[in-house]
Amino acid sequence: MINKDFFQALSDLETEKKIDKEKFIEALEFALTSAYKKMYGEAKSAIVKLFPEKNTIKIYSYKTVVNEVEDSDKEISIDEARLIKKSYKIGDVVATEESTKDFGRIAAQTAKQVVMQRLKELERDMAVSEISEKEDELLTTIVKRIDNGTVYVQISGSHVEGIMLPSDQIPGEKFETGQRIKVYVKKIKDSYKGPQIQVTRSNIGFVRKIFELEIPEIANGDVKIKNIARDPGSRSKVSVYTDKQNLDPIGSCVGNHGIRINTIVSELNGEKIDLVLYSDDPLEYIARALSPAKVLSVETNDSLNASRVIVPDDKLSLAIGKNGQNVRLAARLTGWKIEVKPESSITETVKEPKEVEYELVDLEDEDSFTSFDDLEEISGEDNE
């Protein structure tokens, strides 16, 4: 039967694992009551109570006092009840302590199962509670295994496993079991298998945290990131600014001899990074966002949130970028629709080229963008 050592073990669990002993006792009482009913019949009204202070367990069956008994498992006549205690009246509950002799083996087995199950649940809940505080943070993890492209990582300092789907990986990256990698905690969600920690290296949050890690001026707030637009594994545009006089935000990000930006590029698996100086003037901001292309002029239409950019003819392909990437990222970065036109289109009287606009993309939906099937009609050549 459950003995003194068992109750001492519960006290130790409360101390070592910070598990609430009272909740543990409640779970045990519920499980033992269910086990007792299965042993003696589900119809029997009974309850199992644990008394840790006395290191004992007691079982009580109970019946309701009635005039005429219809269910002998749950009811007792007023005459029978008054043989036990004269003060009983209709509606009272008569509790009788049952023998635990035959219930000992089942009680011990049930208690063991409940303890093991409850321990797993509580440890998991505690681990998830701890990791939930790290949502939107950068963590160092160890690759545990790789299954059909999905990478499972062990989060350092915990027993929690993170899941990195193929879509959350930087294209072209290869991982090996035991490898230490940095990941961004994207979300924690419940599943039929329990809570899942979704981690990523492909979203803009990962880039932001890497910049904070490698650039002290960003970490302390002297230099601020205004926005990030990203094609994972290919190119990112990061706009920065500062309120501090005599501080160069672009220079702070580049570092001495480019050491800071090169470290970030290496962490991003060679992904190119365009640093853009943010400006409150949309004309200037849009022109800078199209870097490395040279911009001759910018016009905006505030009501349509649209802009028209003129570039030298020989820089049109550079402004648009391969598969429209440069102008697409610039549109995401600035929040403006951008139409790029060559300088010759201003002076030549020709049929107006089909207009191509790059819609403002929700930065949380990094896989969304407009079609660029008409780019070659504008550039007149294959994009570089």
CATH code (residue 73): 3.30.1480.10
User: Domain tally for the chain?
Assistant: 4
CATH code (residue 241): 3.30.300.20
Q: What is the pLDDT of residues 319-340, one digit of tens each?
A: 999 999 999 999 999 999 999 9
Task: Say what the pLDDT of residue 89 is.
Answer: 92
Domain interval for residue 332:
280-384
| 22 and 83 housed in the same domain | yes
Residue 77 lies in a domain: yes
Given 278, 296, 319, which residue is the final one in a domain? 278
| 370 and 330 housed in the same domain | yes
Alpha carbon distance 288, 327 (integer Å):
11
Q: Is 378 a residue whose pLDDT tops 60? A: no
Query: pTM of the full predicted structure?
Result: 0.66
| 188 and 210 housed in the same domain | no
CATH code (residue 192): 2.40.50.140
| 60 and 111 housed in the same domain | yes
Task: Say what the pLDDT of residue 376 is.
Answer: 38
- Answer with the residue of higher pLDDT: 249 or 134: 249
Q: Which residues of 64-93 are buried (b: 16+ CB within 10 A; e: fewer)?
A: bbbeebeeeeebbebeebeeeeeebeeebe
Task: Say what the pLDDT of residue 290 is.
Answer: 97
Task: Say what the pLDDT of residue 176 is.
Answer: 95
Q: Which residue spans within the chain are E strands per DSSP?
A: 46-51, 56-66, 75-77, 93-98, 138-147, 150-155, 161-164, 180-191, 194-200, 223-231, 235-242, 272-277, 297-301, 306-311, 337-342
Q: Is 147 a residue whose pLDDT tops 70? A: yes
Q: What is the pLDDT of residues 268-327, one digit of tens each?
A: 999 999 999 999 999 999 999 999 999 999 999 999 999 999 999 999 999 999 999 999
Residue 135 lies in a domain: no
